[in-house]
């Protein structure tokens, strides 16, 4: 990448996106211009961050330099968006602004940053270990190059999917709320093991290995989930007994509703 890139808010997610790109030398540290709110974060990055990037406090005059960068990653919390202002005297129009803010629409971004082409991205927390899922909704009139750069930012740490914006809420529900839902399922199944007398740590390890193994089996043997379910469910056996309890307690319906609810909440934020 040859462009200068501005990072507006260098927290957990921005760090997860940018650090591997710096590690792999896709971008050079002196091309990265990052701005944070507090002196504490500024000092922390200066003293502890492994790459020697340019970093500024948002209230400083020097931080205005970020508006000269061709690519911007907007990664503050949504409630801090009101503190970010595009200057009037912006030199190059139509620079790219990539927002990862949950629930902030392209329309709202474009109104706030009229001299930018604003792209909306939803990514999820496993991006911090290079296993993320990223959904991108494009604005109109982007160049091929701007699309390529946007994908490049995320391809290294996640699988990238392209959507129209109206699919981002359900994508967010599945992928961003999903890790919490799956964690709750792991916790509950582990408690089942605990109730049966297994130590907590062992029980949790067994549940996680079982889930990983199940996913590998489905993928490697190209099974459908119903085929796998039938494979391990014998007449009058233990598994059908377990599944019967889940159906009685409407677990399947509760999971479906949980995703719809998260998606509706995301729409409300937008
Ligand atoms: N966490 C997730 O699971 C997740 C997943 C996907 C997407 N997202 C989205 O990613 C965004 C960032 O989340 P995060 O978890 O990385 O947040 P975070 O760790 O709290 O980082 C936010 C960053 O924004 C900076 N900031 C605040 N106000 C600013 C201002 N006026 N100018 C410049 N920088 C400012 C903060 O600086 P200080 O440290 O100095 O305050 C901090 O560096 C959110 O919008 C969220 O919706 C989060």
Q: What is the pLDDT averaged over residues 43-49?
A: 97
Q: Does residue 32 sit in the same domain as residue 153?
A: yes
In a domain, 73, yes or no: yes
Contact 33, 14 (CB under 8 A): no
pLDDT at 261 over 80: yes
In a domain, 173, yes or no: no
Question: Taking the mean position of all CA atoms in its chain, how far away is CA 95?
Answer: 23
Q: Does residue 123 sit in the same domain as residue 188?
A: no
**pLDDT tens-digit readout, 59-113:** 999 999 999 999 999 999 999 999 999 988 887 788 999 999 998 999 999 999 9
d(CA 95, CA 97): 7
Q: Is 190 in the pocket of ligand 1 (CB under 6 A)?
A: no
Q: Does residue 71 sit in the same domain as residue 147?
A: yes
Give the distance (Å) from ligand 1 centre to CA of residue 98: 14
pLDDT at residue 91, rounded to an integer? 77
Give the distance (Å) from ligand 1 centre to CA of residue 250: 37
Q: Does residue 88 sit in the same domain as residue 145?
A: yes
Could you tell me the residue range of the domain that residue 263 belongs to? 178-269
Look at ligand 1, atom 46, and give the residue with the nearest C-alpha: 101
Look at ligand 1, atom 41, and give the residue with the nearest C-alpha: 37
Confidence of residue 2 (pLDDT cuts 50, 70, 90): low
Q: What CATH number should be reported for the domain holding residue 261? A: 1.10.3730.10
d(CA 157, CA 134): 9
Q: What CATH number should be reported for the domain holding residue 28? A: 3.40.50.720
Q: Is 35 in the pocket of ligand 1 (CB under 6 A)?
A: yes
**pLDDT tens-digit readout, 215-259:** 999 999 999 999 999 999 999 999 999 999 999 999 999 999 999
Domain boundary among 144, 165, 186: 165
Number of domain units in the chain: 2
Q: Does residue 126 sit in the same domain as residue 239?
A: no
Q: Does residue 142 sit in the same domain as residue 41?
A: yes
What single string gives the DSSP state of each residue in 156-199?
Answer: TTEEEEEE-GGGHHHHHHHHTSHHHHHHHHHHHHHHHHHHTT--
Q: Is 127 in the pocket of ligand 1 (CB under 6 A)?
A: no
pLDDT at residue 270, rounded to an integer? 75
Q: Does residue 190 sit in the same domain as residue 159?
A: no
Q: Does residue 43 sit in the same domain as residue 153?
A: yes
Domain boundary among 165, 190, 216: 165
Look at ligand 1, atom 17, and give the residue with the nearest C-alpha: 11
**pLDDT tens-digit readout, 140-194:** 999 999 999 999 999 999 999 999 999 999 999 999 999 999 999 999 999 999 9
Residue 69 DSSP class: -
In a domain, 85, yes or no: yes
Q: Does residue 56 sit in the same domain as residue 188?
A: no
In a domain, 103, yes or no: yes
Q: Does residue 51 sit in the same domain as residue 82?
A: yes
């Amino acid at each position: 990448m040859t462009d200068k890139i501005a990072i507006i808010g260098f927290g957990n997610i921005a760090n997860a996106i940018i650090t591997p790109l710096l590690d792999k030398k896709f971008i050079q540290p002196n091309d990265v211009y990052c701005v944070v709110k507090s002196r504490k974060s500024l000092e922390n990055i200066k003293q502890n961050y492994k790459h020697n990037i340019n970093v500024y406090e948002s209230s400083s005059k020097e931080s205005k330099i970020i508006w000269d960068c061709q690519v911007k990653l907007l990664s503050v919390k949504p409630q801090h968006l009101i503190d970010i202002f595009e200057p009037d005297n912006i030199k190059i129009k139509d620079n790219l602004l990539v927002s990862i803010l949950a629930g902030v629409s392209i329309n709202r971004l474009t109104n706030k940053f009229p001299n930018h082409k604003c792209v909306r991205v939803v990514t999820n927390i496993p991006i911090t270990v290079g296993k993320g899922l990223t959904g991108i909704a494009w604005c109109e009139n982007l160049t091929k190059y701007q699309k390529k750069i946007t994908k490049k930012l995320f391809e290294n740490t996640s699988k990238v999917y392209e959507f129209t914006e109206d699919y981002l809420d359900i994508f967010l529900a599945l992928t961003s709320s999903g890790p919490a839902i799956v964690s709750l399922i792991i916790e509950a199944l582990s408690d089942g093991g605990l109730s049966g007398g297994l130590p907590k740590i062992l029980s949790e390890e067994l549940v996680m290995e079982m889930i990983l193994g199940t996913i590998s089996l489905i993928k490697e043997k190209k099974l459908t989930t119903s085929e796998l379910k039938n494979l391990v469910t014998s007449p009058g056996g233990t598994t059908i007994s377990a599944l019967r309890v889940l159906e009685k307690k409407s677990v399947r319906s509760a999971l479906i509703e949980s995703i719809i609810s998260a998606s509706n909440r995301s729409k409300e934020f937008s």
